[in-house]
Structure 1
Amino acid sequence: MAILLDPPRWEAHGTVWAHLVSDVSLEELHDFARTNGVPDRSFDLDHYDVPAERVEALLAAGATPVSGKELLVRLRRSGLRVRGADRRRERGRRLRRRLAGRWADLGRVVVDDGLEAPWRDLGGELLDRWSEPHRRYHDLIHLEEVLTRLDDLGDDGEPVTPSVRLAAWFHDAVYDGGPDDEDRSADLAAKRLASVGVEERTAAEVSRLVRLTAGHDPQRDDVAGAVLCDADLGILGASPHRYGRYARAVRAEYGHVPEADFRSGRATVLRGLLGHTELFRTASGRSRWEAPARANMAAELADLEAGTTPRGS
């Protein structure tokens, strides 16, 4: 094993961070991280970011302490180092590959083996749509986050059906910033799912669920709708730093709107959301995201009203 850990000296998000790497293989690095409870979300292309309080335990588990300089030299020598200039492109490539794998897994559940090529082509079409250059928030990152939140809800015992997962893939497949985006996405789902052999009943349910994301207001007995809407709105309950990135991305998507008009409109949206008795319709969603979502939105609203830069920027 050649797991290396440098001293914690990188300040971010209220703590100090170290880097955990392998100079042999990413497989070895991921195995070590999983075994020692380092979360997947801490991985950044060629290393895991590790908070200072975890360093002692990881060293006790077998990581080798090295200086930051030695870690970088050995990582470069191994061929695993991703250069700074390449990191954005590499993140996009790996993200698309992960999502293509998710789409393939879903296809094994909902279509016959004989339709593998059409299913794969449809996945490629959807990934291309989610990669359109005008998107700033409604992009591949948002898609993966919604799918991950569905996994989280499922782990908590909420019913996450194949139809709900398909609806996540299609819910912003058409995104032009217009009032009919959800309807057009729903129509696309009905048409394209039928073309690859998905049962008519399933395609109709996916289309219905996609339309629900226009208002995120499912009926109380609509369990599937509640699960999808909670996963889509879960960004509201993210960490303040992630929420700040989300808020800036939303502003970028409305870059054509004058600042005063945007602040007024966005404040109206936030007041409306904060006025709901419950933002999330599932027990798991409320437990996970209700309190942090309200804190995030209240902070953003205060900044909008004060005319200051959003917190978390």
Structure 2
Amino acid sequence: MTVLIDAPLWPAHGTLWSHLVSDLSLDELHDFAARAGIARRAFDLDHYDVPEARFAELVALGAVPTDRRELVRRLTTAGLRVAGHARGAAKRAALQARWDALLPGTPTVGSELLDRWYEAHRTYHGPAHLTHVLDSLVVLDPDRTAPRAVALALWFHDAVHDGRAGDDEAASAALAGETLGALDATSSAVGTEEAQSPEVATQVERTATRVERTEVAEVQRLVLLTTHHDPAPGDHAGALVCDADLAILGSAPDRYTRYTEQVRREYAHVPDELFAPARAEVLERLLDAGPFFRTPVGAERWEAAARRNVSDEILRLRGHGTGR
């Protein structure tokens, strides 16, 4: 057991708070929290916030007391720490604000999408991944000249995630068609008898022509591209979506390690003897298919690091290197 807890020194809501972490895995942390009766809503990306009144009880259950510095060091060494700026960016309110700026007047749509991204079974394909792909799009398209369909596709590309390659992308594309198509249908209600009430007229005004059928179809096409990440030459919108989704491959080694651990936990139901060769085969196909990144910015920033990271992971999976 490697669950750690620091002293209750952090004031909020009229009490002091501790941080409960694991330096082994998030699975261990969630298991400990569940046995201790700590609600999942207390989880904040890499730790649980627990009130001072529960400190002694959690220590008695097996949490090891430590100071804040040691807790952060152990969490960082394990590759499980989420930096402060990433934690803040992944907060639900911040993501909701990004959706509202992208498609004003549709807060419920954004909230329902976020419900999906915050599903409890997600470890990698959760709000931090959504934040990362949206931030990566800003890097790839700093002048924001890309069509809106690109950002919409990133919001929808893992909206359905049940761990079934191909099926998840198809289901996410179908969800995009259903959700965005309903907005187009709402806009077409102008002039109908039903749309004459002030409430409905206001809603129609806010959503009218926001997402036309051609844009819905483009969002669906872009979501489906994330199945194989192989946009056609000249498909700039497709290249932006695929590069943003794959940007994690070109991250720093410690962040890449955390990514691989998170992916493995999402497939925890698959035995190691099946997962390792299957994952290695997928990565080998990616390496052999050519460059990971199709935009000039993505290629310059991430290609070399991605090829190193992926090659090193294949060696570990094939049993020729250190690590898992």
Q: Which residue of 1 aligns with 2:305?
A: 292
Identify the match of residue 125 of structure 2 among 95, 113, 138: 138
- CA deviation digits over 1:89-134, x for unaligned, max 9? 67589611110010000013xxxxxxx2xx1111111000111111
Are 2:127 and 1:167 equivalent residues in the alignment? no
Say yes or no: does 1:238 pair with 2:173.
no
Deviation at 1:239, TM superposition (A): 0.6
**Equivalent residue letter for 1:192:** T
**Contact 2:19 2:48 (8 Å CA) reproduced:** no
CA distance in 1, matches of 2:315, 2:121: 28
Q: In structure 2, what is the Cα distance between the partners aligned to 1:207 and 1:195?
A: 14
Q: Secondary structure at the match of 1:280?
A: coil
| CA apart distance, 1:298 | 1.1
Q: Distance in 2 between matches of 1:142 and 1:93?
A: 11
Please give the alpha-carbon distance, in whole angstroms, between the structure 1 residues aligned to 2:278 and 2:242. Answer: 22
Aligned residues: 230
TM-score by structure 1 length?
A: 0.67
Q: Name which of 67, 88, 95 aligns with 2:91.
A: 95
Q: Is the deviation greater in 190-199 or in 88-97?
A: 88-97
Equivalent in the alignment of 1:263: 276
Q: Tell me if structure 2 keeps the 8 A contact 1:138–1:172.
A: yes
Aligned equivalents of 2:90 and 2:215: distance in 1? Answer: 30
Percentage identity across paired residues of the two chains: 46
TM-score (norm 2): 0.65
Tell me how far 1:83 sits from its aligned partner. 4.3
Structure 1 Cα separation of the partners of residues 300 and 137 of structure 2? 14
| 1:301 CA drift (Å) | 1.1
Is residue 135 of structure 2 the alignment partner of residue 148 of structure 1?
yes
Corresponding position: 1:272 with 2:258: no
Q: Matches of 1:267 and 1:256 in 2, distance apart?
A: 17
Does the 8 Å contact 2:90/2:127 carry over to 1? Answer: no
Q: Residues 158 and 309 (structure 1 numbering): CA distance in 2 closer, same or farther, change over 3 Å?
A: farther
Supply the distance in 2 between the matched residues of 1:128 and 1:136 (Cα, whole angstroms).
14
2:90 and 2:128 in contact (8 A); partners too: no
Aligned-partner residue type, residue 256 of structure 2? Y
Does 1:182 pair with 2:117?
no
Structure 1 residue 223: Cα displacement: 0.7
Aligned AA (2:123): R
Equivalent residue, structure 1, for 2:74: none
- Helix, strand or coil for the counterpart of 1:208? helix
Which residue of 93, 100, 106 maps to 2:102?
A: 106
Cα drift, residue 261 of structure 1: 1.0
How far does the alpha carbon of each residue in 1:226-285 deviate from its partner, in whole angstroms, 9 at most, with x for none?
000000000000110110011011111111111011111111111111113211100001
1:84 is paired with a residue whose SS is strand
Segments of 4+ in structure 1 off by > 3 A? 85-94, 307-311
Q: Write the mapping of 1:17-96 to structure 2, written as runs, cut at 5 A.
A: 83-85=18-20, 87=44, 88=47, 91=87, 95-96=91-92
Counterpart-to-counterpart distance in 2, 1:216 and 1:287: 18
Summarize the Cα distance change of 1:259–1:152 in structure 2 as closer, same or farther, 3 Å threshold: same
1:218 counterpart residue number = 231
* Gaps in structure 1 of 5+ consecutive residues: 1-71, 109-115
Q: Distance in 2 between matches of 1:232 and 1:138?
A: 11
SS in 2 for 1:215: coil
What is the CA–CA distance in structure 2 between the aligned matches of 1:158 and 1:107, rounded to whole Å? 15
CA contact (8 A) 1:150 1:160 kept: no
* Counterparts of 1:93 and 1:290, CA distance in 2: 25
Aligned-pair CA distance for 1:307 = 6.4
Distance 1:272 1:160, change over 3 A: same
- Give the 3 Å change call, closer, same or farther, for CA 92–130 of structure 1 in structure 2: farther
Q: Note the aligned Cα RMSD (angstroms).
A: 2.8
Point out where structure 2 has 5 or more consecutive residues left out of the alignment: 1-7, 21-41, 50-86, 185-210
CA positional deviation for 1:161? 2.1
Structure 1 residues 192 and 287, CA gap change in structure 2 (3 angstroms): same
Conserved in 2, the CA contact under 8 Å of 1:303 and 1:310?
yes
**Given that residues 153 and 160 in structure 1 are in contact (C-alpha distance below 8 angstroms), is that contact kept between their aligned partners in structure 2?**
no
